[in-house]
Chain A
Amino acid sequence: GAVVSQHPSRVICKSGTSVKIECRSLDFQATTMFWYRQFPKQSLMLMATSNEGSKATYEQGVEKDKFLINHASLTLSTLTVTSAHPEDSSFYICSARGGRNEAFFGQGTRLTVV
């Protein structure tokens, strides 16, 4: 299957700082990328959907100014958690979909805000 690389896998940051998470499709062009958040022992909650070159579409209840998504190319999307607080601590997972219409997931990023 296709490979989606997510970086970093773990990050610890101080409250009030911003953190950027990268999601790259390594061997295919991702026309659509998705960002999910997963709380401990819970399912994945879709945060936003982004298409290359256009603004992301955020799910209800997700603050777009807090979770900045950029999908600048067909192989890279970034999620920036701005002014992070402890309640933003979570597992963030990206997913990328290409021409085969199948979504492939990154390895996830464990964010801890202290």
Chain B
Amino acid sequence: AQSVTQLGSHVSVSEGALVLLRCNYSSSVPPYLFWYVQYPNQGLQLLLKYTTGATLVKGINGFEAEFKKSETSFHLTKPSAHMSDAAEYFCAVRDTGGGNKLTFGTGTQLKVEL
């Protein structure tokens, strides 16, 4: 079984400040890890993913995430927040054992203030 925990259902940052959204996972096999962004009344857009190889993954819109196996974490960061980053962010895990299912965290609402 696999699960995802996103600490903090709401995060508020000032424009230009560092964005840090936390994600911890549990999985019985090495996982694939994903971050998605959702704008109101829209579907999900993939920000980045980790499958194998380099543990620091760069995605779209200046976001990046680092897979830390020892901490079972995959936190999402962006050096400088922009107003357009305000959205809901979901961390997800999929096992590498041939399963197809994505398991999502409960999401983090990011608010960016002037």
Contact = CB atoms under 8 A, between A and B. Distances in A.
Instruction: Specify whether A and B are partners.
Output: yes
Contact residues of A: prevailing secondary structure: strand
Interface in A1-32: 1, 4, 6, 9, 32
Contacts of B101: 34, 46, 49
B13 to A, nearest CB: 20
Interface in A99-114: 102-108, 110
Contacts of B102: 34, 46, 95, 103
Interface residues of B, number: 17
A42 B46 contact: no
A110 B90 CA distance: 19
30 contacts: A1-B46, A9-B41, A32-B100, A41-B107, A41-B109, A42-B106, A42-B107, A43-B105, A43-B106, A44-B44, A44-B90, A44-B104, A46-B101, A49-B101, A91-B41, A93-B43, A93-B44, A95-B44, A95-B102, A102-B49, A103-B102, A105-B36, A105-B43, A105-B44, A105-B45, A106-B43, A107-B42, A107-B43, A108-B43, A110-B41
Contact of A43 (B46, B49, B90): B90
Count chain A CB atoms within 10 A of each CB in B43, B90, B104 and give the residue with the most: B43
A108 B46 contact: no
A105 B41 CA distance: 13
Interface of B: 36, 41-46, 49, 90, 100-102, 104-107, 109
A97 interface: yes
B101 to A, nearest CB: 6
Interface string A79-106: 0000000000001010101000011111
Most buried by B among A49, A93, A97, A103: A103
A64 B43 CA distance: 23
A16 B101 CA distance: 31
